C-alpha cells in the first residue's frame, strides 16, 4: 500500500457563513493562494489543532481568516469523508453553518468576499455542494424553528423581515401570512416603536423583535413552501 493509502487522514473544519446582503442570500468565500485549486474560491476553515474541538477550530479559523467574531448562530452541518475529495491527500472535513444578521458588515481581508449562493464562482474541492447543503439546512430551519432571529437585526418591521425570508427561502413570502405564523408561534413581540412610512405613504409600521435569540424548535411539522406548492 502506498503512503497516500496508509497515511492517517487529516481533519479540517469548514464554515458556511451565510448572510442576506443586498436582498440576496450570500456566502463568505476566500480565494486560494496555492495549489491545489490555485485561484479558486473556497470556504474558510482549516486543520484542527491537537486537543481542539471542531467548534473551537472553526471559530478560531473564522477569526484568523475572515474576522467573523460575532456569529448570531453556529451549528454543525455535515461531515465529508470521500477519499477522493482532496486530490493530493486524505482529508476529512466537518462543515458548520454560521449565520450573520442583516446590517452587520464584518471586516474581511482582500482575498475574501461575499458571493450570492445562487451564482457561485467555480469552487475548490467539494465546497460548492457544501454551500448548497448549508442553504438547504437554513431553509428547513426557517420552517420549524425561530432561526429567522439569526438573519434579522435586533428590531425590524414585518416588511423588512419578509425580505430576509424571501432571500433565504428563494421564493416569495406573504407578509400577512409570515406575521400570522410567527405571532401564532409566539416568536415575535412588538418593541413599542413605530417606523415612519416611506415615500409611498401609508400607516406607520410596527417594529418587532424576536422573543428569543437562541435557536428553538417551534413547530417540527411546519414547512414554508413556495406559492402554489402542496
DSSP type of residue 217: B
| The pLDDT of residue 69 | 73
In 10 A of CB 150, how many CB atoms?
Answer: 26
| pLDDT beyond 80 at 11 | yes
DSSP type of residue 32: -
Listed range (23-37, 62-76, 159-173) with the worst mean pLDDT: 62-76
| pLDDT beyond 70 at 1 | no
DSSP type of residue 118: G
DSSP per-residue codes, 142-195: HHHB-GGGGTS-SSB-HHHHHHHHHHHHTS---HHHHHHHHHHTT-EEEEEEEE
| The pLDDT of residue 64 | 84
Q: Which residues pair with 195 in a beta bridge?
A: 205
Domain ranges of the chain: 3-142, 145-210
Give the percent of the chain with pLDDT over 70: 91
Segment 35-54 shows an average pLDDT of 96
Segment 2-10 shows an average pLDDT of 64
| The pLDDT of residue 122 | 92
| The pLDDT of residue 135 | 98
The string of pLDDT tens digits covering residues 199-212 is 666 789 999 999 99
| pLDDT beyond 70 at 4 | no
Which tops the pLDDT comparison, 198 or 120? Answer: 120
In 10 A of CB 56, how many CB atoms?
Answer: 13
| The pLDDT of residue 78 | 98
Containing 115, the helix (H) or strand (E) segment is strand 112-116
Query: Residue 162: which residues within 8 A CB-CB, separation 6 or more?
Result: 173, 174, 175, 178
pLDDT-based confidence at 226, cuts 50/70/90? confident
| The pLDDT of residue 222 | 64
- Give the domain 3-142 fold: Nucleoside Triphosphate Pyrophosphohydrolase (3.90.79)
In 10 A of CB 208, how many CB atoms?
Answer: 22
DSSP type of residue 117: G
pTM of the model: 0.91
The string of pLDDT tens digits covering residues 118-136 is 999 999 999 999 999 999 9
The string of pLDDT tens digits covering residues 156-178 is 999 999 999 999 999 999 999 99
- Say how far apart CA 96 and CA 76 lie, in whole Å: 4
| The pLDDT of residue 3 | 47
SS3 content of the chain, % helix, strand, coil (to 5): 30, 30, 45
- Give the domain 145-210 fold: Arc Repressor Mutant, subunit A (1.10.10)
Segment 43-55 shows an average pLDDT of 96
Computed over every residue of the chain, the mean pLDDT equals 92
Amino acid at each position: 500500500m502506498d503512503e497516500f493509502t496508509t497515511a492517517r487522514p487529516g481533519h479540517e473544519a469548514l464554515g458556511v457563513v451565510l448572510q442576506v446582503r443586498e436582498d440576496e442570500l450570500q456566502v463568505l468565500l476566500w480565494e486560494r493562494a496555492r495549489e491545489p485549486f490555485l485561484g479558486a474560491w473556497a470556504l474558510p476553515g482549516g486543520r484542527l489543532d491537537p486537543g481542539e474541538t471542531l467548534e473551537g477550530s472553526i471559530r478560531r479559523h473564522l477569526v484568523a481568516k475572515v474576522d467573523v467574531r460575532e456569529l448570531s448562530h453556529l451549528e454543525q452541518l455535515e461531515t465529508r469523508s470521500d477519499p477522493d475529495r482532496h486530490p493530493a491527500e486524505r482529508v476529512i472535513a466537518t462543515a458548520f453553518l454560521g449565520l450573520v444578521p442583516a446590517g452587520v458588515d464584518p471586516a474581511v481581508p482582500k482575498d475574501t468576499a461575499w458571493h450570492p449562493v445562487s451564482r457561485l464562482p467555480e469552487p475548490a474541492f467539494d465546497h460548492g455542494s457544501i454551500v448548497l447543503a448549508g442553504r438547504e439546512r437554513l431553509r428547513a430551519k426557517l420552517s420549524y424553528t425561530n432561526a429567522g432571529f439569526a438573519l434579522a437585526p435586533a428590531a425590524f418591521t414585518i416588511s423588512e423581515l419578509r425580505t430576509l425570508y424571501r432571500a433565504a427561502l428563494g421564493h416569495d413570502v406573504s407578509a400577512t401570512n409570515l406575521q400570522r405564523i410567527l405571532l401564532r408561534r409566539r416568536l415575535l413581540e412588538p418593541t413599542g416603536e413605530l417606523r415612519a412610512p416611506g415615500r409611498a405613504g401609508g400607516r406607520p409600521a410596527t417594529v418587532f423583535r424576536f422573543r428569543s435569540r437562541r435557536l428553538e424548535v417551534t413547530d417540527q411539522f411546519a414547512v414554508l413552501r413556495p406559492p402554489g406548492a402542496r
